[in-house]
Amino acid sequence: MKIWKQTLLASAFAMMGSLSIMASETHVVHANMMDFDPVVVKINPGDSVQWTNMSTHNVEMMEGLIPEGQEAFTSPMSQNFSHTFEQEGIYIYQCTPHIGAGMGGAVIVGEPTNLQVIKDAGVRGGLGRVVRQAIAAAEEM
């Protein structure tokens, strides 16, 4: 009887792990001439974002505009790229060569835990439009 309970418990934990793996999704962001589509993507922790059509683009996460404790990264130029997001919060990114034209985006993972930090950053210029869209999307949640 004891072995049966242990087996049942082990099976239940294995099944829960499988469900969480199956539940993760990949969200696609397409790079157009001078913008990302969609500009703001909302995902769950454990989901991935794949940036496609990156012929002359990259993804540069902006230091200070990502959740505390997360390391900013820059994808290779001109290569499709995928990243899995584990920590909740808002992640603001730009295309380094085209930010002057406003080419950037935001990933909102779960709850927007760093919303106030993003609001207080006072971002202007090409990235300001992206930040305003991310704030509006986060406030609708």
| Sequence ranges of the binding site | 57, 95, 98, 103
The kind and range of the H/E element at 119 are helix 115-120
Torsion of CA 84, 127, 133, 81, to 10 degrees: -20
**Distance (Å, whole) CA 6 – CA 79:** 48
Q: Which residues contribute to the annotated binding site for Cu cation? A: 57, 95, 98, 103
Cβ atoms 46, 84 nearer than 8 A:
yes
Q: Which of 116, 126, 137 is nearest to 68 (CA)?
A: 116
DSSP three-state, residue 35: coil
